[in-house]
Copies of this chain bind each other. A is one copy, B any other.
Amino acid sequence: MQLQCPMPKLDFEVITLGHGSGGLLSNKLLDSSVFELLNNETLGTRHDGAILSAGGAVAFTTDSFVVSPIFFPGGDIGELAVNGTVNDLAMCGSIPKYLSLSFILEEGLPVKEFWEVLVSVKYACEKAGVQIVTGDTKVVDRGKGDKIFINTSGIGELHPNAAISIDRVLPGDKVLVSGNVATHGMAIMSVREGLEFETDIESDTCNLNDMVKALLDGFGPAIHLLRDPTRGGVATVLTEIAKHGRIGIDIRQQDIPVDEQVDSACEILGLDPLYVANEGIFVAIVSEDMAEEALKTMQSFEEGAQAAIIGEVSEAHPGQVVLTSRIGGRRVVNMLVGEQLPRIC
């Protein structure tokens, strides 16, 4: 954590059901934490909602976060909740502006953990350039939740150059990923109860809106589609695109960037990195003539250093994603079947 935010002195150390009453205790908790830490003019009105000015087309998205554990290598649920919704807004071709923040806390949660998560929320908001403008806090009985669940919903302003649509994905388009795949999933697995193994793998959770803005600034309508491959991984996202757009997608295993340690961990556990969850990368479908330039733009960002062109959209096998393996074999890639690791985000 890069911000210095000492926890205020409070006369309670754990969250109780009364903190979700909507009465005095709720007010005490929120005054000393959320409102103190995330303060801005809109949030300060403390109405039932926020009044915002939004010109023209806006993007609107929602995500609930139930990741377990709530603190993991490279991040925590607060940072993840902000980045996840910021990134969904970016994938719509918008500039993220405003977030809501809604907590479902479990009775007995140490206030210290709540505070740490809030500080992460603040830090992630500042980094992504968004404001928390409205929120909600509920408390459920011990054993009816799991420490902290967070919903973040968000509003973004559509980038003037954005023309993101599955209908614009065309044969010949290039398929790019903005960084190493499978990192977040393996970071969570490495600390998951019953599965712990020693690695230095850290979650890739980060805000992607700056990189997306640079792409839209530079290449606008040549960016045909953006998707972040979270649950289900790159394989599931590409399969959804192929099925929904009734086009084929060819990808090359040798071109898919994977961190060496992540790759080894996947091999040990018998997992295909293509199905492992990500939180800090996106897939871009870009027109053929602009793909190389777009790649350079992505690589100019720290979080895009490993960006790569991994394949093409094709007229062959509509609805199917076909992978050419390192040794030249070809196989159809399907959606994730069953669950790989529950509660990854």
A104, B145: Cα distance in complex, Å: 10
Q: Does A71 contact B (CB under 8 A)?
A: no
Chain B residues lying within 8 Å of A155, measured Cβ to Cβ, are: 58, 60, 155
Q: Is A9 an interface residue (CB 8 A)?
A: no
A51 CB-CB contact with B under 8 Å: yes
A63 at the interface (CB under 8 A from B): yes
Give bound CA distance, A59 to B134, whole Å: 10
Q: Work out how many copies of this chain go into the complex.
A: 2
**Which residues in window 185-211 of A have CB below 8 A to B?**
none
User: Do A100 and B62 touch across chains, with their CB atoms under 8 A apart?
Assistant: yes
Establish whether residues A51 and B58, one from each chain, have CB atoms under 8 Å apart when the complex forms: yes
In the complex, which residues of chain B have a beta carbon less than 8 angstroms from the beta carbon of A26?
Answer: 231-232
Q: Which residue of B55, B100, B145, B231 is within 8 Å of A23 (Cβ)?
A: B231
Residues of B within 8 A of A92 (CB): 47-51
Which residues from chain B contact A102 at a C-beta distance below 8 Å? 62-64, 151, 153
- Does A136 interact with chain B (Cβ within 8 Å)? yes
Answer yes or no: A314 CB below 8 A from chain B CBs.
no
Task: Bits for A105-136, please: 1 = Cβ < 8 Å to B, else 0.
Answer: 00000000000000000000000000001111
Q: Can you list, as one digit per residue, whether each of A75-102 has a CB less than 8 Å from chain B (1) or not (0)?
A: 0000000000001110110100010111
Residue contact B60 to A339, C-beta cutoff 8 Å: no
- Interface size for A (C-beta < 8 A) is 87
A160 is an interface residue with CB less than 8 A from chain B: no
Stretch among A264-272, A292-300, A330-338 lining the B interface: A330-338
- Of chain B, the residue at the smallest CB distance from A236 is B23
Residues of B close to A27: CB separation below 8 A:
240, 335
Residue of B nearest to A151 (CB): B151
Closest residue of chain B to A244 (Cβ to Cβ) is: B46
Q: Please report whether the interface of chain A is mostly helix, strand, loop or mixed according to DSSP.
A: mixed
Docked CA distance A59–B42 (Å): 11
Does A324 count as interface, using CB distance less than 8 angstroms?
no
Answer whether residue A227 sits at the interface, using C-beta atoms and an 8 A cutoff.
yes
Let me know if B61 and A51 touch, CB within 8 A.
Answer: no
**A14 → chain B, closest Cβ, in Å?**
14
Q: Give the residues in chain B near A98, CB-CB below 8 Å.
A: 60
Q: In whole angstroms, how far apart are the Cα atoms of A94 and B164 in the complex?
A: 29
Residues of B within 8 A of A8 (CB): none
The answer on a CB contact under 8 Å between A228 and B62 is no
> Which A282-330 residues have a C-beta within 8 angstroms of B?
none
**A260 CB, min distance to chain B CBs, angstroms:** 26
Q: Is the CB of A22 within 8 A of B144?
A: no
Tell me whether B228 and A48 are in contact (CB under 8 A). yes
Most buried by B among A49, A138, A153, A337: A49
19 further A-B contacts with Cβ under 8 Å, apart from A48-B88, A62-B136, are: A21-B231, A21-B340, A22-B336, A23-B231, A23-B232, A23-B335, A25-B339, A27-B335, A45-B166, A47-B164, A47-B166, A49-B156, A51-B59, A60-B98, A62-B151, A64-B102, A64-B151, A65-B138, A141-B343
Can you list 24 A-B pairs with a CB-CB distance of less than 8 A?
A: A16-B339, A20-B231, A21-B342, A22-B230, A23-B232, A24-B334, A47-B166, A49-B88, A49-B89, A50-B61, A51-B58, A51-B59, A55-B55, A60-B100, A60-B155, A62-B101, A63-B102, A64-B149, A64-B151, A66-B138, A68-B144, A140-B149, A140-B342, A143-B143
